[in-house]
Amino acid sequence: MEAKMIRRLVVKVGTSSLVMKNGRINLPSIDRLAYSLSALNNAGYQVVLVSSGAMGAGLASLNKTQRPAAIAEQQALASLGQVELMRIYSQRFLDYQTRIAQLLLTRDNLEYPLNRTNVLNTIEALLQQKIVPIINENDPVSVDELDHHTTFSDNDELSALVATRIGADLLIVLSDIDGLFDKDPHKNADAKLIENVAELTPAIRLSATGSSTRFGTGGMVTKLKAAETILNADRQMVLCNGQDPRVILKVVNGQPIGTHFGRHSIKPLATDKEEF
C-alpha cells in the first residue's frame, strides 16, 4: 500500500465525544480536541473541524436531556446550543493560541456553483491564515422545501462533502465506537474490528447499524456513506473512537488506529520531526 503525504485534513467530531452520558458538556474532551488540532495547526497542517453537538449543548444549557419532538423547538435548541458550543471552543482554542472561525452550512452552500465557490474561497482564505474553520450544519434554517434540498443526512455526510470539496488528504471521524466491525459489537462479544477497507463490499454494508446514542443522529450507515464519498474521490478516511480526541495525533502519525478506508496509507507531513 503506497503512502500518501497528509497536509490538509478534516476532523469530524460527533456529539458523543462532546456531551457526556449525563447530558453535560464534556469539557476535558473539548480541551483535548482543541489541543490536538492546535498542535497540528502549529506543525504546518491545514485543519478543518466539522462539529456536531449544537443540540446537545442546547440541552445542557437548559438542564434537559431529551430533545423536543417539534422541529421548530429542535431548531431553536440548536440555535441556542451553537452559541454555547462556539463559546467553549473559542475559550479552549485560545488557550493554545489558535484562532478559529465559524461556518454554518446548508446543502445549497455546497451544491449550487456560486454558493460553493464562495464557501470554498472562504475556507481557503482561513486556512492560508492558519485559522481553524469550525463547520456545522445550519440547523435553525435547514429545511427540505420546493427545489431546495438544504439538509444533510447528518454531519458524517457533511464532513465527507467538505473533505472532498476542499481537496483534503484525510478525513478523521471520531465516534463512540472503535471502528467498523464485522457485526454490531454492542450486541456481539465476538465482533472483530475491520482494520482496512479499500472497497465497500456488500458484506461490509450489511454490517452497518444505526445510531447508538440518544444525542446523536448518525450511525454506521451514515459513516459508510461518508467513506464511500471519500473512496470515490481516492482520499483516505479513518473511523475511530473519539473518547480521547488526542487519538487524532496518533492517526496523523500513521499509527494503526480504528478502521482505515482508502487505497493508500498515511504518511505524516514531516517525518524528520518528532512525533506528537
Question: Which strands, in side-by-side order, build the sheet including 259-261?
Answer: 100-105, 132-137, 46-51, 8-13, 170-175, 236-241, 259-261, 196-197
Nearest to 188 by CA among 207, 210, 216, 215: 207
Q: Is 219 annotated as a binding residue?
A: yes
Nearest to 53 by CA among 32, 26, 76: 26
Q: Is 222 annotated as a binding residue?
A: yes
Q: Is 220 annotated as a binding residue?
A: yes
Q: Is 225 annotated as a binding residue?
A: no
Q: Is 213 annotated as a binding residue?
A: no
C-alpha cell at 234: 481516492
Q: What are 30's strand-pairing partners?
A: none
Q: Is 130 annotated as a binding residue?
A: no
Element (H, E) at 121: helix 113-128
Cα–Cα distance, 11 to 237 (Å, whole number): 10
Q: Is 139 annotated as a binding residue?
A: yes
Per the CB < 8 A criterion, the answer to whether 108 and 137 are in contact is: no
Q: Is 36 annotated as a binding residue?
A: no
Q: Is 218 annotated as a binding residue?
A: yes
Q: Is 183 annotated as a binding residue?
A: no
**Site of grid cell 494503526:** 256
Question: How far is CA 205 from each of CA 1, 98, 220, 221, 234, rounded to the nearest angstrom?
Answer: 23, 39, 9, 8, 19
Q: Is 217 annotated as a binding residue?
A: yes
Q: What residues form the annotated binding site for substrate? A: 52, 139, 155
Q: Which residues are annotated as a binding site?
A: 12, 52, 139, 155, 175-176, 217-223
Annotated binding site for ATP: 12, 175-176, 217-223
